[in-house]
Amino acid sequence: MFELLFSLSSIGILVWLLMIVLPTWRVTRLLAELKIFPIYLSILYIVGIITVILKNGFGFMQYFSSAAGVIRLLSEPNFALLVWIHLLCFDLFVGHSIYRENLEYRYIPLPLQSIILFLTLMFGPLGLLTYVVLRNASNRKRT
């Protein structure tokens, strides 16, 4: 079941490609505005986490309090796949936010936006931090 959820989550790469390669295309803008893919990934995650809870209860939450506990959880293949979907969902939501804000205010040029979106896709927080730093630098130049 979790491998199916993982496979179904792979379609999220489409919106990343659109935001990176075709950022001004009408379809890309519409998909980003509607947030269809983050919502889709959220639904997949919810199906997975409900399955975990129904099967095992809330006992897994006890492992969140230590590094060893988190490692133990992530060593469980089904839980690791579920965490992956969680990461995909949040990284895509951040990517959408960067994309939409920059298209509206043009803090950075579109080619640089594409690089930052790639960084966000591959390294989440690195892409977000890069965007925030460049956006703030751009704001200082404008004032």
Check residue 117 and give its pLDDT: 98
**What is the per-residue burial (b if ≥16 Cβ within 10 Å, else e) of 49-82?**
eeebeeeeeeebeebeeeeeeeeebeebebbebb
Pairwise CA distance, residues 6 & 20, whole Å: 22
* Residue 42 pLDDT class (50, 70, 90 cuts): very high
Does the pLDDT value for residue 140 go beyond 90? no
pTM (predicted TM-score):
0.91
Beta-carbon count within 10 A of 137 CB: 11
Tens digit of each residue's pLDDT (9 = 90 or more) over 63-85: 999 999 999 999 999 999 999 99
What's the rounded mean pLDDT across residues 2-24?
A: 95
Which helix H or strand E contains 50, and what residues bound it? helix 36-56
Does the pLDDT value for residue 142 go beyond 80? no
Whether 50 contacts 57, CB under 8 Å: no
Pairwise CA distance, residues 108 & 115, whole Å: 11
CA-based R_g, the chain, Å = 17
